[in-house]
Amino acid sequence: MGLVEGQVAFITGAARGLGRADAVRFAQEGADIIALDICEQIESVPYPMGTPEDLEETVRLVEKEGRRIVAHTGDTRDAAAVKKVVDAGVAAFGRLDIVVANAGICCSVGDDGSTDIPIWDDTIGVNVTGVWNTVRHSVPAIIEGARGGSITIMSSSAGIKGMLSLNAGDFAYTASKHAVVGLMRSYAMGLAKHSIRVNTIHPTGVATPMLLNPAVDAFIARNPTAAENYKNPMPVELIDVDDISNAVLWLASPAARFVTGVMLPVDAGFTAQ
């Protein structure tokens, strides 16, 4: 019997990285999956984003675990598109229990001095408005089920501490990851009467394409001391996606049935410095 056996999880940014890891981990523990990813490039993002082929691989991996999945492409900034996906998933599976608002972008690698408005707008759009759309269009289905539920919003260590550089991308990323904490706390209070728990997770650097890409490599090459500013107290440079998906699973499981309104760092001690 899996920890979330028979439940349904809606996961954004599911084509690869943390979103894919969450989808597979929940499937391993008995959940069916509603997956959403934009699967196209946002111009201001300096690294390659997920593709339709990546999303197809997520589907394959979930089905390999013996669970069902409905996967859609769409932009979380588009409220109507998010609602359509949630409605389609609930129609397919008959319920919704778990939400992982994972989709997010980072439009900077630290030293380009950029102040472009599109960088700010894209980052806030995906990382804040997209999270709000994801949560607000999921909540009615969870309430209707009258079984309680779990909503986890992916923040960052940058949602606890500021970043060091002074460009639009870093300002926007840090602001966005702090902003979703406010969303989390408000939803946690408002949904507690329905036994719906809402929390944020705050990772340190994770080994995903957001960090493992030529743009970041070039930044480190130009600024060889910069990596020192982001070192973890524990002896690990980047943590694995599984470290985060295990935390998301725990928050959704009965073991965390009274855990809500919590900022959970999974950061190898980074924010304790």
Q: What is the pLDDT of residues 153-191, one digit of tens each?
A: 999 999 999 876 667 788 899 999 999 999 999 999 999
Q: Inform me whether the pLDDT recorded for 112 exceeds 60.
A: no
pLDDT above 90 covers a percentage of the chain that reads 81
- The dihedral over CA atoms of 210, 211, 215, 221, expressed in degrees to the nearest 10, equals 170
User: 8-12 and 98-101 as β-strands: parallel, antiparallel, unpaired?
Assistant: parallel
Q: Inform me whether the pLDDT recorded for 82 exceeds 90.
A: yes
CA dist., res. 33 & res. 28, Å (int): 11
Catalytic residue among 47, 173, 187, 230: 173
At residue 210 the predicted structure's pLDDT band, cuts being 50, 70 and 90, is confident
pLDDT of residue 164: 67
Structural domains present in the chain: 8-265 (3.40.50.720)
Has 173 been annotated as catalytic? yes
pLDDT of residue 270: 93
pTM: 0.94
